[in-house]
C-alpha cells in the first residue's frame, strides 16, 4: 500500500522538485519585481570640487538624506537638512524602554521594555552583499553582530497540520529533503527518468540522493542513525553511564507534503537572507546615530515641509514646525535633494515637470506591521533551546523572531512577536495598539504556550499609521517601473529625488543609500557642468 | 485578569458597535479580505488610515477625511479609489472582490455624514475593475 502510493509520475516528481526549488523560482520572480538585485556600490565613492558658495538643501534626515549631507559637505557644498521628526534616521529606527510613539489618529504608546531591550520597527537585518550600508557601518565604527536568519531548532507551525502542534524546522527540513530524495530515487529506479538521463547519470543521481537525503543503502528515508544526524535524536548521546542515543522517527511523507510546512524552509536560501547577515549591536538606529555624529550640525529638526518651489536660479522650500506651532518659514538654496517618501511628497505642492509628478503619484505604499513583546524571561532559550532565528506560522502574526543577541542572559527578553504583510497587516493597523499586542500574544501562544504567563508588555507599529511615511515602502510593479521609474530619478531643474523609492532595492537601507549616492553624483556632475557653462 | 476587566469595563461603558468590533476582530485567513459586509471592511481595513469616524488624519502628510466628503457624490470616484488606489493609497482589487468593493463604498457613502441615495452595484464596480 505504502509502495503503491509512492508510484508517482515523472511529471509529479519534477513538480515536487520544482517546489523544493522554490528559492530559485522565487528569486526569479523577485528579480522581475526588482527585489533581489545586488547592490552596485562604489567602495571609493567620494565627490569633490563643489563650486564655491553653492548651497544644497536636503529634505529628510533618513539614511538617504544623511548620506547626501555627509558626502555633499565633504565635496565642499554648503548643506542644510530639514527633518520632520525630532530625531534622525527615518525608518532606520529603534524603540526602547522610555520611548514614546504617537501614531496617526493620536494613539500614544509608551515603550516599557527593560534596559537594553528593543524593537526595530523598520529594517532589522543587513545582508552581507549590502555593501554600501556595511561600508558606512565600518567607516563610522558601528559594531555589527550576526543576525540569525535560519534556526534549525525554531518552529514551523500550521493550524491545519499535525493537530496545530508546531514542528521543529530541523525535522521538517531533514524529512522533506529525505522524502524528496527517496521519491526521486524511486522515479529513477522505475525508469521515470530514463529519457532525461543516461545510465551513468542515473547511478550518479542515486548516489547523490543517498548522501543529500540521508537515505539508506536501499534508497529509503527512514528512522536511522543517519537520518537522526539530520533531524535530531529522540534521546541525545550523553557521557558516562547515561542512556545511549535513540534515533527519532521521521514524519510521514504524505503528512509532511500535506502540511505545507516545507514552504517555510526555503526562505533562508534566498539571496537576501543567506548567511552571513548582520544587525548593529544595540539596535538598527545605531546606524542613524553614527550618521548623526557626522552631520547633526546640518539638521534642522521638527520641520514639516509644506511647499517646494524652484525657478532658474534656485529652490525655495516652505516649512513650519512639525507640531503646527509658529508661522511658515522658508529656506533657500541653489539645489535640492528631496528624500521625502513619495506618499508624503505626492501631497505637497512642488514645482516639477509633469512626468516627474506623475511618477511621484504612481507609487502606493505597502502595509506592514511589527510587534515587539517583552517576557519575564527568555523561555524560548531556557525551555526550547531556540537561540535567535525565526519561527514561521500560518496564523496572522506570520513570524516570531527571537533576539540574535545576549544569549543565555537572565532576566527579561524581547522578541519580535509579529511581522505581518498583506491583508492581515491592514487588519492589524486598523486595531488599537493595545489590541494588536493582545492578538499577537493570543496567536503566539499557539506556538509557545508560555506566552500568557510570561508576557509583560508590548509595542506595535503599523506602518500606515506612522506619521512621517504613511506606509512601509514604495510598492513598484514591473509596469509602473517601466512607465515612471526613470522619470522619477531624473534631475528636474534644480531638484533630484532619493530614497528607497528611487532604487531597485525597495524597502532596504541599501536602496536608500545607493539611490542617494547615485542622485548626488549626477547632481554634482550637473552642477559642475552648469557652472562651467555659466 | 486585566484583559477581562478591560473588556468588561468597555462593554459596560460603551455600547458603540465600533468598540465591540475592536474587541473581537476576526482576521482573514484566505490571503484576501474575508469580511463580507461594508461595515466590517471599513472597520478592519479603511479605518487603518481614514480612522474610526472617517475623519482622516494629519502628520508629515495626511489621510483625507471620508466624513462629509463631497467627492463621494460621484460614485465612480470611491469605486475607483478603493479598487485601483491613487498616489500613496494602494488599490484593493487584489484583496477584495467586486461585491466587497461595492459594499464598503456603499457603507462609506451612507455613514459619517454622507447620505448618498444611489447605491453602487456590483456591475458598477465591474465596469471599473474590468474583471
pLDDT of residue A39: 62
CATH code of B85's domain: 1.10.760.10
Domains of chain A: 95-152+276-285+366-465 (3.90.660.10), 302-363+476-533 (3.50.50.60)
Nearest residue of A to residue B4 by CA position?
A438
Question: Whole-angstrom Cα distance, residue A384 to residue A451?
Answer: 13
- pLDDT below 70 — which residues of chain A? 1-39
Overall domain count for chain B: 1
**Residue found under cell 542622485:** A519
**Residue found under cell 531591550:** A117
Looking at the domain assignment, is residue B14 inside a domain? no
Looking at the domain assignment, is residue B20 inside a domain? no
Cβ burial, residue A179 (10 Å; 0-12/13-18/19+): buried
Question: Whole-angstrom Cα distance, residue A32 to residue B96?
Answer: 25
- Closest alpha carbon to A56 in A510, A495, A412: A495
How many Å lie between the alpha carbon of B15 and the closest alpha carbon of chain A?
17
Looking at the domain assignment, is residue B28 inside a domain? no
Cβ–Cβ gap A364/B90 under 8 Å: yes
Question: Whole-angstrom Cα distance, residue A158 to residue A160?
Answer: 5
Question: Whole-angstrom Cα distance, residue A236 to residue A173?
Answer: 19
pLDDT of residue A532: 86
pLDDT tops 50 at residue B32: yes
Give A130-135 contacts, CB < 8 A, sequence gap 24+: A130/A39, A130/A505, A130/A508, A130/A509, A130/A510, A131/A39, A131/A41, A131/A43, A131/A510, A132/A39, A132/A41, A132/A510, A132/A513, A132/A514, A132/A517, A133/A63, A133/A287, A133/A509, A133/A510, A133/A513, A134/A278, A135/A41, A135/A43
**A-chain residues near B85 (CB < 8 A):** 364
pLDDT of residue A163: 96
Per DSSP, which regions of A295-378 are E strands? 299-300, 303-310, 315-321, 329-333, 335-338, 368-375
Q: What are the residues whose beta carbons fall under 8 Å from the beta carbon of A196, sequence distance 6 or more? A: none
Taking each helix axis from N to C end, the angle separating A169-189 and A10-20, rounded to the nearest 10 degrees, works out to: 150
User: What is the per-residue pLDDT across B51-106, written as a single tens digit (0 to 9) for each?
Assistant: 999 999 999 999 999 999 999 999 999 999 999 999 999 999 999 999 999 999 99
Q: Cα torsion at A233, A234, A237, A241 (round to 10°)?
A: -170
DSSP code at position B31: S
**A-chain residues near B90 (CB < 8 A):** 364-367, 475
Looking at the domain assignment, is residue B83 inside a domain? yes
Q: So what's the ipTM on this one?
A: 0.89
First and final CA of chain A: distance in angstroms?
A: 86
**Residue found under cell 543521481:** A205
Q: Cα torsion at A156, A157, A160, A163 (round to 10°)?
A: 110
pLDDT of residue B22: 55
Interface of A to B at Cβ within 8 Å reads: 84, 104-106, 304-305, 322, 340-344, 346-348, 361, 363-367, 396, 422-424, 426-427, 429-432, 435, 438-439, 462, 464-471, 475
pLDDT of residue B25: 86
Nearest to A347 among B28, B61, B90 (CB): B61
Question: Largest Cα–Cα distance of chain A, in whole Å?
Answer: 89
Cβ–Cβ gap B33/A423 under 8 Å: yes
pLDDT tops 60 at residue B129: yes
Cell of A429: 493597523
Nearest residue of B to residue A158 by CA position?
B29
Taking each helix axis from N to C end, the angle separating A131-140 and A509-533, rounded to the nearest 10 degrees, works out to: 90
User: What is the per-residue pLDDT across A163-208, written as a single tens digit (0 to 9) for each?
Assistant: 999 999 999 999 999 999 999 999 999 999 999 999 999 999 999 9
**Residue found under cell 468598540:** B19
3-state secondary structure of B102: helix
pTM for the whole structure: 0.90
Taking each helix axis from N to C end, the angle separating A10-20 and A22-32, rounded to the nearest 10 degrees, works out to: 60
Question: Whole-angstrom Cα distance, residue A12 to residue B69?
Answer: 55
Q: Domain range holding B99?
A: 35-129
pLDDT of residue A534: 73
CB pairs under 8 A between A and B: 107
pLDDT of residue A235: 97
The radius of gyration of chain B from alpha carbons, rounded to an integer in Å, stands at 16
In this prediction, residues B40-61 reach a mean pLDDT of 98
Nearest to A435 among B25, B57, B60 (CB): B25
Cell of A212: 543529500
pLDDT tops 50 at residue B17: no
Question: Whole-angstrom Cα distance, residue B114 to residue B67?
Answer: 7
pLDDT of residue A18: 47
pLDDT of residue B23: 58
Looking at the domain assignment, is residue B112 inside a domain? yes
How many Å lie between the alpha carbon of A431 and the closest alpha carbon of chain B?
6
Cell of B91: 488599490
C-beta separation of A57 from A336 below 8 A: yes
Question: Whole-angstrom Cα distance, residue A498 to residue A512?
Answer: 7
Amino acid at each position: 500500500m505504502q509502495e503503491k502510493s509512492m508510484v508517482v509520475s515523472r511529471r509529479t516528481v519534477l513538480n515536487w522538485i520544482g517546489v523544493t526549488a522554490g528559492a530559485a523560482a522565487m528569486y526569479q520572480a523577485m528579480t522581475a519585481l526588482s527585489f533581489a538585485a545586488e547592490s552596485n556600490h562604489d567602495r571609493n565613492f567620494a565627490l569633490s570640487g563643489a563650486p564655491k558658495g553653492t548651497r544644497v538643501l536636503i529634505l529628510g534626515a533618513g539614511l538617504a538624506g544623511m548620506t547626501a549631507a555627509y558626502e555633499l559637505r565633504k565635496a565642499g557644498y554648503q548643506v542644510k537638512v530639514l527633518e520632520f521628526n525630532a530625531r534622525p534616521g527615518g525608518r532606520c529606527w529603534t524603540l526602547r524602554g522610555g520611548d514614546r510613539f504617537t501614531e496617526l489618529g493620536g494613539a500614544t504608546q509608551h515603550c516599557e521594555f527593560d534596559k537594553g531591550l528593543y524593537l526595530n520597527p523598520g529594517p532589522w537585518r543587513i545582508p552581507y552583499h549590502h555593501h554600501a550600508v556595511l561600508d558606512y557601518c565600518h567607516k563610522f565604527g558601528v559594531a555589527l553582530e550576526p543576525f540569525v536568519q535560519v534556526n534549525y531548532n525554531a518552529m514551523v507551525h500550521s493550524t491545519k497540520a499535525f493537530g496545530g502542534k508546531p514542528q521543529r524546522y530541523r525535522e521538517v527540513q531533514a524529512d522533506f529533503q529525505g522524502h524528496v530524495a527517496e521519491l526521486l530515487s524511486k522515479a529513477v529506479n522505475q525508469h521515470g527518468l530514463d529519457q532525461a538521463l543516461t545510465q551513468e547519470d542515473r547511478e550518479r543521481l542515486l548516489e547523490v540522493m543517498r548522501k543529500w537525503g540521508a537515505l539508506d543503502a536501499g534508497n529509503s528515508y527512514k528512522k536511522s542513525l543517519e537520518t537522526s544526524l539530520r533531524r535530531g535524536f529522540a534521546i541525545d548521546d550523553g557521557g558516562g553511564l547515561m542512556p545511549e542515543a535513540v534515533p527519532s522517527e521521521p514524519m510521514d511523507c504524505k503528512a509532511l507534503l500535506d502540511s505545507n510546512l516545507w514552504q517555510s524552509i526555503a526562505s533562508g536560501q534566498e539571496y537576501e537572507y543567506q548567511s552571513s547577515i548582520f544587525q548593529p549591536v544595540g539596535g538598527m538606529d545605531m546606524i542613524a546615530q553614527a550618521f548623526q555624529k557626522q552631520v547633526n550640525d546640518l539638521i534642522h529638526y521638527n520641520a514639516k515641509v509644506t511647499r517646494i518651489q524652484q525657478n532658474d536660479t534656485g529652490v525655495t522650500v516652505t516649512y513650519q514646525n512639525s507640531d503646527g506651532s509658529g508661522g511658515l518659514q522658508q529656506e533657500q538654496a541653489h539645489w535640492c535633494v528631496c528624500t521625502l517618501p513619495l506618499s508624503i511628497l505626492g501631497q505637497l505642492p512642488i514645482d516639477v515637470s509633469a512626468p516627474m509628478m506623475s511618477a511621484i503619484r504612481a507609487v502606493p505604499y505597502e502595509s506592514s506591521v511589527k510587534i515587539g513583546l517583552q517576557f519575564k524571561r527568555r523561555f524560548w532559550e531556557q525551555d526550547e533551546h531556540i537561540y535567535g532565528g525565526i519561527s514561521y506560522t500560518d496564523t496572522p502574526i506570520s513570524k516570531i523572531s527571537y533576539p540574535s543577541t545576549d544569549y543565555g542572559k537572565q532576566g527579561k527578553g524581547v522578541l519580535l512577536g509579529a511581522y505581518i504583510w498583506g491583508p492581515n497587516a491592514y487588519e492589524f493597523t486598523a486595531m488599537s495598539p493595545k489590541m494588536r499586542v493582545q492578538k499577537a500574544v493570543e496567536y503566539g501562544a499557539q506556538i509557545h504556550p508560555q506566552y500568557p504567563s510570561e508576557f509583560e508588555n508590548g509595542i506595535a507599529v503599523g506602518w500606515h499609521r506612522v506619521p512621517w511615511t504613511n506606509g512601509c515602502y514604495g510598492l513598484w510593479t514591473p509596469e509602473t517601473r517601466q512607465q515612471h521609474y526613470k522619470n522619477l530619478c531624473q534631475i528636474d531643474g534644480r531638484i533630484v529625488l532619493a530614497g528607497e523609492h528611487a532604487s531597485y532595492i525597495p524597502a532596504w537601507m541599501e536602496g536608500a543609500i545607493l539611490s542617494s549616492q547615485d542622485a548626488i553624483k549626477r547632481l554634482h556632475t550637473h552642477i559642475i557642468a552648469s557652472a562651467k557653462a555659466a | 485578569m486585566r484583559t477581562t476587566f478591560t473588556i468588561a469595563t468597555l462593554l459596560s461603558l460603551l455600547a458603540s458597535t465600533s468598540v465591540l468590533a475592536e474587541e473581537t476582530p476576526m482576521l482573514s485567513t484566505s490571503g484576501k479580505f474575508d469580511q463580507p459586509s461594508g461595515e466590517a471592511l471599513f472597520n478592519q481595513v479603511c479605518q487603518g488610515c481614514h480612522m474610526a469616524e472617517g475623519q482622516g488624519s494629519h502628520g508629515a502628510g495626511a489621510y483625507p477625511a471620508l466624513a462629509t466628503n463631497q467627492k463621494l457624490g460621484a460614485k465612480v470616484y470611491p469605486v475607483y479609489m478603493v479598487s485601483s488606489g491613487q498616489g500613496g493609497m494602494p488599490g484593493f482589487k487584489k484583496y477584495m472582490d467586486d461585491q466587497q468593493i461595492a459594499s464598503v463604498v456603499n457603507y462609506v457613502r451612507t455613514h459619517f455624514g454622507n447620505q448618498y441615495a444611489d447605491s453602487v452595484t456590483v456591475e458598477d464596480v465591474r465596469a471599473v475593475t474590468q474583471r
